[in-house]
Amino acid sequence: MKSAVSREASTPLDTTDSLTPTLRRKRKKGVAGYAFVSGYFVLLILFGVLPAAYAIVLAFTASGGHFTGLTNFIKTGEDFRFLPAFENVGKYLLIWLGSLVVIVLGLALMLHSIARRVSAAFRFIFYLPGALAGAASVLVWLFMLDPTVSPWRLFLGVFGFKNLGQTILPGHLPLIFAIIAFWAGAGGWIVVTYGALNNIPNELIEAAQLDGAGAIQTALRIKLPLIKKWIVFMLILAFAAGTQLFVEPQLVGEASLGLISPTWSPNELAYYFAFQDNNFNYAAAISVDLLVIGLLCAAVLVFRTKLFEVE
Amino acid sequence: MAPVSLEKLTKVYPNGFEAVHEFDLEVADGEFMILVGPSGCGKTTAMRMVAGLEEITSGTLRINGEIMNDVSPRDRDIAMVFQNYALYPHMTVGENIGFALKMKHTPKSEIEKKVRETTEILGLTEWIDLKPGQLSGGQRQRVAMGRAIVREPKVFLMDEPLSNLDAKLRVQMRAEVARIQRRLGVATIYVTHDQVEAMTMGDRVAVMRAGLVLQCDKPQTIYDHPLNLFVAGFMGSPSMNLFEARLGEGATTLFLGTQKVELPPTVLSAKPALGRFANAEVVVGIRPESLAVAGTATGERTEDLVFFEGDVDLVEALGSEILVHFSTDAHRVEAEGMYSDDAEGLDAGSITQRGEGVARVSPETQLVIGEHVRLQVNPKRLFFFDPVTGLALNG
Amino acid sequence: MRLFNRIWSRTFSYIILLAFTAFFVVPVIWLLFAPFKTDHNLVFENPFALGTLGNLFHAAHVMFTFEDYALLNWLKNSAIYSFGGIAIALICSIPAGYGLAHTQFIGRRTLLGVTLFVMIMPATALVLPLFLEANAVHAVGTPLAVILPFSFFPFGVYLAYIFYSSSVPKDLLAAARIDGCNEWDVFRRIALPLARPIIALVTFFAFVANWNNFFLPFVMLPNSSNYPLPIGLQDLLSATPAFNPGQGGQVPIYRPELAIATIVAMAPVMIVFLFAQRSLVSGLLAGATKE
């Protein structure tokens, strides 16, 4: 249309049918990709791969730097604080994961069967304490568990607790940490589970109803099997994170007047080795133990479920 | 000098799959060239090689005489309309259309002027400040066109640009795209799987299958003289009826299932190659519109009609015509990928065991389902193919 | 009978939901009310009784001026660490997600796989190794020892990758290349502007993770003036006579003051919660392509 003439005029110049490169830029292959990931790659090496590698080196060497094989692992494993720490965390995980399956799923199913507007409000409220994760949540619960000031004081009184010391007895800690984890973390998982439930096509639910399934039958036989992989996902992530418990026992220990061991959880034990005993090799050995647990969880999630797209 | 020339253009993917095999093509100035074929036939890959979005494995691509194999897309002076339009969602209609000019550092006032001209041509002026998300499918399609034409490129590439529109809009845009192309006079390569678009829009059509160009010619020529079974079956809707058959002694009779059909001598004299197939299997092709029901007022009356019989399975009255689905005891032949979009076979034709056919007859024809009818066809309109190679027996 | 069952089960649902609402909300409400009361009120009055503004001002004054405005210093530190980490994380993870989704290079799949692994692994598992590493290069005690590990945020890379591979069609980028963009232009003019919702999302998750992180700054920053809020809270906790009667009177930090510190610590995350909810919903891409 407009430039037909001008193009005609310019063609005689380019008509030389030659292989000589003109001003046109050659396309570059692959280079751009490296440029885009380079920043992240450096961070990954410096703060992901290197520390892990360094911890592994330390875990297999003595303070002098010579290779000691599994000695550090055996020594830390035989330490009198090692087993109790893992036992403590194990009990905590049992309660926390159990409550995730039963209560989170139950609440999500209930929310899914009521009006969307109302359920949105509930979901927001349940999710809200997530803002107080970490130290803040522990502090809030120290107030909640202190029978002298707690709004639940009547409830605590039923169990005969008169002061904070009685509530946070060492034997109660797994349950208490599970409650804190639930308070701060369950809302997020309820939102995720609800989202998964929402992805179930409505026709499927209606078909089940026409087939004669009641609300509970539909929930158990249709909805739950369809969100199974999300439940697995939730459990593995919660398990992996739960093994790393640190801030909760640390802060509650602070308020317990020395009743609670400073090596209550494995991470605390590793910390104790590093900072009280100045034994970085032992600390590294426990870190590697925990790292392996984390890696195993990741491996199960990546290879056993099809949750993560890698293409 | 042809704006676009492809010489033995070949694409082999890293996994060894050869998507395009030695594609030769010249698109003349102002020519509307259509690449048509079932999905997976390599037509889109061929186009993307021209665009520079797909690397060329071997062969030579020239645009205006210059070798372009290794030139980056932005320096090829081409414009492309994508199947999903690929409009920039964060830019307005005007910004979308003007983006290429902006990247060429065209002065702002000139961009504005050209964008305005383009939106006027396409009737988009009202929507110039809206974002793609606020437009209808048809409007988005126009924006995609606008983005291409504002560039005044040497070549237009269009990759199934109408396939996402609903049927009615597609018919309308079909004419509009063709009109705009004629008006701009820019060489265009247009990829489609829709044989109606191929028939109606292009100056020339290249029918592709499994990475090969089977036939490249004017649409009517392809329709009237398909070179092989696949092209015969692919072009035309409803498709050509293809039946397994056997030529008798001296190629004067045709056995269609259990039926014997007498062929007048004109058939053999027009297609002497049939002589080689005396007493041998052939595939016979009949376009649905060449068939009529004998004995009805609308049937063609010439001296040497040939007849065969069938049972009416289904009658589809379309108002202007009737599609009669009938069955005979002759086996039907299908070239893979001819009718459905999913097939990707490499063989010339495979035989399926269905004896169904379609006739397209005048609406006055009165038929009842289950009725036994005599069908007539002018023998000049019979096509014959070699059942082994799939090639048409014309010479 | 059926109808009765339905009403009954619905009522049951609501009772359970309301009970859990109380469980989740009462602590937050109590926390917000606490600064309006004196420590004495908290012990001897109805837990939901209203307090007075005077009490609030008093407690706030005590808390904020405590140890030469330590609380504000911690707040400032938290902000620096969190946002420093987020800034670097964004600069690195958005292009990385784009590169992983839309470019080809050797090692791409490996990088993706490793990213997935470190993303699922709890970040806490690397804290002590990171400390050992920082210790080896004498970086312990510097803000960078916290900021740089914060900026390594594989989850952000994964989010960006998923976004780019699922919501930004290859043809959109091809169109830009044909329109005259080089690879950097394609990213800057097309891919980056489209990433706005994902930038908000990454910021949100990184912020919550960084702000609440306890273990990493706890081991990296031994000096009180470098503390972020969570470590500061622990410091207060160990000093307050409310939980450590032995401390008796030397430190004027009681429960109302502690509640204020907790509120200060959680408020930014709470605000980000409310703020992020909106920006996450923006369907910027709607209608860009027809699929």
Extents of the domains making up chain B: 4-229, 231-385
**Closest-CA distance of chain A to residue C5, Å:** 10
User: Any idea which residue has 């081991």 for tokens?
Assistant: C219
In the predicted structure, residue B344 carries a pLDDT above the cut 60: no
Structure tokens at A138: 């522990």
Report residue B163 CA to chain centroid gap. 13
A57 and A153 together in one domain: no
In a domain, A109, yes or no: yes
Domains of chain C plus CATH, in order, are: 67-221+263-280 (1.10.3720.10)
CB contact under 8 A, C182 and B72: yes
CB contact under 8 A, B66 and A1: no
In a domain, A296, yes or no: yes
In the predicted structure, residue C112 carries a pLDDT above the cut 50: yes
Q: How far is Cα A81 from Cα A60, in angstroms, rounded to an integer?
A: 21
Banded model confidence at residue A13, pLDDT cuts 50, 70, 90? very low
How many structural domains does chain A have? Answer: 2
Residue B9 one-letter amino acid: L
Banded model confidence at residue B354, pLDDT cuts 50, 70, 90? low
Nearest of C150, C123, C154 to residue C221 by alpha carbon: C150
Chain B residues within 8 A of A16 when measuring between CB atoms: 65
In a domain, A244, yes or no: yes
CB contact under 8 A, B185 and A27: no
pLDDT tens, position by position, A31-46: 889 999 999 999 999 9
Residue C173 one-letter amino acid: L
**Closest-CA distance of chain C to residue A201, Å:** 19
Instruction: Reduce the DSSP state of residue B219 to 3 states and report it.
Output: helix
In a domain, A117, yes or no: yes
* B4-229 is a CATH 3.40.50.300 domain: yes
pLDDT tens, position by position, C43-65: 888 777 788 888 888 888 888 88
A100 and A139 together in one domain: yes
Please, which residues have CB within 8 angstroms of residue A230's CB and are 6 or more apart in sequence?
A192, A193, A196
Structure tokens at C60: 């706030």
Chain A residues within 8 A of B70 when measuring between CB atoms: 26-27
In the predicted structure, residue C76 carries a pLDDT above the cut 90: yes
In a domain, A22, yes or no: no
**B231-385 in CATH: which number?**
2.40.50.140
Average pLDDT for residues C110-122, to the nearest whole number? Answer: 87
Average pLDDT for residues C105-122, to the nearest whole number? Answer: 88
CB contact under 8 A, C178 and B132: no
B85 shares contact with chain C (CB less than 8 Å) = yes
**Closest-CA distance of chain B to residue A199, Å:** 24
Q: Which of B5, B55, B75 should we substitute to test contact with A (largest number of A Cβ atoms within 10 Å)? A: B75
| Per-range mean pLDDT, top range of A112-116, A171-175, A199-203 | A171-175
- Domain of A257, in residue numbers: 94-265
Q: How far is Cα B228 from Cα B225, in angstroms, rounded to an integer?
A: 9
CB of B386 within 8 A of CB of B242? no
Banded model confidence at residue C8, pLDDT cuts 50, 70, 90? confident
A134 and A199 together in one domain: yes
In a domain, A206, yes or no: yes
CB of C143 within 8 A of CB of A294? no
Banded model confidence at residue C172, pLDDT cuts 50, 70, 90? very high
A70 and A133 together in one domain: no
Transcribe chain C into DSSP letters.
-HHHHHHHHHHHHHHHHHHHHHHHHHHHHHHHHGGGS-HHHHHHS-TT----HHHHHHHHHHHHHTTTTHHHHHHHHHHHHHHHHHHHHHHHHHHHHHHHHH---TTHHHHHHHHHHHHHS-GGGGHHHHHHHHHHTT-TTSTHHHHHHHH--HHHHHHHHHHHHHHS-HHHHHHHHHTT--HHHIIIIIIHHHTHHHHHHHHHHHHHHHHH--HHHHHH--SGGG--HHHHHHHHHHH-TTT-GGGTTSS---HHHHHHHHHHHHHHHHHHHHHHHHHHT--TTTTSS--
Q: How far is Cα B70 from Cα A169, in angstroms, rounded to an integer?
A: 74
pLDDT number for residue A309: 58
Transcribe A1-59 into DSSP letters.
--SHHHHHHHHHHH-----S--SPPBPP-SHHHHHHHHHHHHHHIIIIIHHHHHHHHHH
DSSP structure class, residue B210: T
pLDDT number for residue A8: 37
pLDDT number for residue C240: 79
A258 and A301 together in one domain: no
Helices (H), chain A: 4-14, 31-44, 50-59, 71-78, 82-99, 105-113, 116-127, 135-145, 153-158, 164-167, 173-198, 202-210, 215-218, 224-226, 228-242, 247-254, 266-275, 280-299
Residue B111 is inside which H or E element, if any?
helix B108-122
pLDDT number for residue A132: 83
Task: Indicate the average pLDDT of chain B.
Answer: 88
- Give the nearest chain C residue to A310 (CA atoms): C112
Residue B282 one-letter amino acid: V
A187 and A297 together in one domain: no
Chain A residues within 8 A of B67 when measuring between CB atoms: 17-19
Chain B residues within 8 A of C289 when measuring between CB atoms: 84-87
In a domain, A34, yes or no: no
Instruction: Reduce the DSSP state of residue A67 to 3 states and report it.
Output: strand
CB contact under 8 A, B154 and A7: yes
Instruction: Reduce the DSSP state of residue B213 to 3 states and report it.
Output: strand
Q: How far is Cα C221 from Cα C282, in angstroms, rounded to an integer?
A: 39
A101 and A235 together in one domain: yes
**Closest-CA distance of chain A to residue C227, Å:** 13
Residue B215 is inside which H or E element, if any?
strand B212-217
Chain C residues within 8 A of B52 when measuring between CB atoms: 177-178
Q: How far is Cα A172 from Cα C108, in angstroms, rounded to an integer?
A: 48
pLDDT number for residue B345: 37
In the predicted structure, residue C230 carries a pLDDT above the cut 90: yes
ipTM of the complex: 0.88
User: Any idea which residue has 């021209």 for tokens?
Assistant: B50
A102 and A65 together in one domain: no
Residue B136 burial (CB count, 10 A): 12
Three-state secondary structure string covering C94-137: HHHHHHHHHCCCCCHHHHHHHHHHHHHCCHHHHHHHHHHHHHHC
Residue A76 burial (CB count, 10 A): 24
pLDDT number for residue A24: 56
A260 and A308 together in one domain: no
Q: How far is Cα B295 from Cα B364, in angstroms, rounded to an integer?
A: 12
Q: How far is Cα A51 from Cα A45, in angstroms, rounded to an integer?
A: 9
A161 and A214 together in one domain: yes
pLDDT number for residue C289: 30
CB of A73 within 8 A of CB of A289? yes
pLDDT number for residue A169: 85
The CA–CA distances, whole Å, from A184 to A101, A128, A144, C23, C212 equal 16, 8, 14, 11, 12
B253-256 and B241-247 as β-strands: parallel, antiparallel, unpaired? antiparallel
Q: Which of B76, B80, B150 should we substitute to test contact with C (largest number of C Cβ atoms within 10 Å)? A: B80
